[in-house]
Amino acid sequence: MARMRRKGDLPTKSCVHCGRPFTWRRKWARDWHQVKYCSKACRSASKALTAGRGVAR
């Protein structure tokens, strides 16, 4: 059985949208290198900004 790790020992990243730090989660184990956003709200807000940039000239 795997040893328990302290939350402070887990890897962290900064959210691309809001800049807040977030820590590794088990559900992200396979694609941690691709995770960019801390939440669904930041992901959808970032997508809305990029979609708006393409339309406005």
Higher pLDDT, 37 or 57: 37
Residues 25-51: tens digit of each pLDDT: 999 999 999 999 999 999 999 888 887
Report how many domains make up the chain.
Answer: 1
- What percentage of the chain carries pLDDT values higher than 90? 61
24 falls within a domain: yes
26 falls within a domain: yes
Q: Which domain holds residue 40?
A: 12-48
22 falls within a domain: yes
How many whole angstroms separate alpha carbon 31 and alpha carbon 25? 10
What is the per-residue pLDDT for 17?
94
56 falls within a domain: no
31 falls within a domain: yes
Non-local (6+) Cβ contacts of 14 within 8 A are: 20, 21, 22
Global confidence as pTM: 0.71
Closest CA to 37 of 51, 18, 50: 18
